[in-house]
Structure 1
Amino acid sequence: MAGGSRKIRLWDPLLRGFHWSLAFFVTLSWCLGQFGPAKMTLHFWSGYAIAGLLIFRLIWGFVGPAPARFAHFLRGPGAIRDYAGHMLMRRPSHWPGHNPLGALSVIAMLAALATQVTTGLISDPDDYINVGPLAKHVSAATRSAAVGWHELGANLILILVLMHLGVILFYRHWKHEDLITPMLTGIKEIPEDAAAAFGAQSRTPDGERPGP
């Protein structure tokens, strides 16, 4: 960073709490779904926790601090193509927030989890035990099919999680950029010019910076 660098407050405490709580409950839900117990009470409660976290993230994506807002990190095809063209360069991107490709992974994960929660709520595996609380509100064919959709969704989420971990390792060892520490501390070092642009974008109309 020839022009110098600056540390910025990037991820707010609530977003960081959401991220690590979601990681915990997704892991817990997947393990309970794969390894039991047969009575899925804990699995259901873990799913409810994920549903609550997703609702929070949806709201926070519109009213939270600038880096957490969907409008801040969702980009068009041109920006995605441009970032992808430089992604393999062996240097840190120092992107102030989710980069254009990372934004796609965020949306994909949120959509997959929302679908997974929905199919779990309406599933009826015909065991008279692990029936979703909303299964009675859909047709017999739908709640039966939802069981298969839920199993397929679990595999898709596993793939997305493994891809997420793979990208973290890629950035750490290929691009020499640590993505984990900023999600723990909220602080990230970025180039001075990017920090100045980030500060301007992060100000509300009255000139105050939102969030902590």
Structure 2
Amino acid sequence: MSNAARVVLVWDVPVRLVHWLIVSLVAAAYATWRLNWMVWHGRIGDVLLALLLFRLLWGFFGSETARFSRFLTSPRTALEHLKYALLREPDHQVGHNPAGGWMVVFLLVLLLGETLTGLYVANDIADVGPLTGFVPAPAANAIEASHAILWDVLLAAIVLHVLAIAGYAAIKGQNLLRPMIIGSKVLPASVAAPRIAGPVRAVLLLAGCAAAAALVVNLV
């Protein structure tokens, strides 16, 4: 009876909403770059910065499955987890698995680096980034180059992330995408449900992060 299955909410609304907004905005950033719509490209970066700041804070003050302390394990534990990547087994993981947790952090770092370096980037259409005038030309050129390099690394990491999700579905029989859409998954009754933070906390944090991003973008 202790192993009877039941539906458990594992991903709260803020995590899912921010996740899919970031996915959409990264795609929009790529499209506007290809179309040379650099004004819109910059605006998308500004929104991304606010969402990333929120996700970082939610990693400390949000729901249990969103917290870095909950899913970020030692590198050794992540490598041990990957040893069983080809083993087909039921998904009893409440949140991110050890390897997935490191991928999340890696993607967040890349996205944050991309948005922050974007504040320095100058181009012929949008003039300059809001922080360009605060650094000497050689440093600004190096930051602009790193913006392009980080973009390439980010795209590679996204491809790896998507392939890992597809691999888990095909090889291990675990659908990692569905819970990130609907928020819940079926778990044994013996697995404790995670604590979910309230919406008021999320709204206050998001408002603060939006204000902080606006301050950096418009006033610095």
Q: TM-score range by the shorter chain?
A: 0.7 to 0.9
Identity %: 32
Equivalent in 140, 143, 148 of residue 146 of structure 1: 143
Q: Is the 8 A contact 2:39 2:125 kept in 1?
A: no
Q: Distance in 1 between matches of 2:136 and 2:56?
A: 28
Give me the TM-score of the superposition, normalised by structure 1: 0.86
Which amino acid counterpart does residue 192 of structure 1 have in structure 2? Answer: A
Tell me which of the two structures has the higher relative contact order, counting C-alpha pairs closer than 8 angstroms and 6 or more residues apart: 2
1:101-130 Cα shifts (integer Å, max 9, x gaps):
0011101000001110111101234x3744
- Residue of structure 1 equivalent to 2:173: 176
Aligned length: 198
Task: Give the secondary-structure state (helix, strand or coil) at the position aligned to 1:122.
Answer: coil
Q: Distance in 2 between matches of 1:14 and 1:84?
A: 28
- Residue of structure 2 equivalent to 1:117: 115
1:12-55 Cα shifts (integer Å, max 9, x gaps):
01111000000000111122123323xx1100000001000001
How far residue 210 of structure 1 moved from its aligned partner, in angstroms, is 4.0
| Cα RMSD, aligned residues only | 1.9
Return 5+ residue gaps in structure 1 as ranges.
Answer: 204-208
- Residue of structure 2 equivalent to 1:206: none
Return 5+ residue gaps in structure 2 as ranges.
Answer: 200-220
How far residue 211 of structure 1 moved from its aligned partner, in angstroms, is 4.2
Which amino acid counterpart does residue 144 of structure 1 have in structure 2? Answer: N
Give me the TM-score of the superposition, normalised by structure 2: 0.83
* Structure-2 change in CA distance of 1:88 and 1:130 (3 Å): farther
Aligned counterparts, 1:7-156, within 5 A: 7-37=7-37, 40-125=38-123, 127=124, 129-156=126-153
* Structure-2 change in CA distance of 1:128 and 1:181 (3 Å): closer
How far residue 163 of structure 1 moved from its aligned partner, in angstroms, is 0.9
Q: Distance in 1 between matches of 2:81 and 2:198?
A: 27
Q: Is the 8 A contact 1:60 1:69 kept in 2?
A: yes
- Residue of structure 1 equivalent to 2:159: 162
